[in-house]
Structure 1
Amino acid sequence: MLKILRFLFAIITASFGLYALLSDDFRYAPLMLLFMGGTMLVMGIEEYKNNKKVSASCLVGACLFVFYTSFDTMLHW
Structure 2
Amino acid sequence: MLKILRFLFAIITMAFALYGMLSDDFSYAPLMFLFLGGAMLVMGIEEYKNNKKVSASCLVGVCLLLFYTSFRAMLGI
User: Same fold by TM-score, threshold 0.5 exceeded?
Assistant: yes
1:1-77 to 2 correspondences below 5 Å:
1-76=1-76
Calculate the TM-score normalised by the size of structure 2.
0.99
Q: Unaligned stretches of 5+ in structure 1? A: none
Deviating runs (4+, > 6 A) in structure 1? Answer: none
Letter in 2 for 1:17: A
Calculate the TM-score normalised by the size of structure 1.
0.99
Q: CA RMSD in A?
A: 0.9
Aligned residues: 77
Give the Cα–Cα distance (whole angstroms) in 1 for the partners of residues 65 and 76 of structure 2.
Answer: 17
Identity %: 79
Q: Unaligned stretches of 5+ in structure 2? A: none
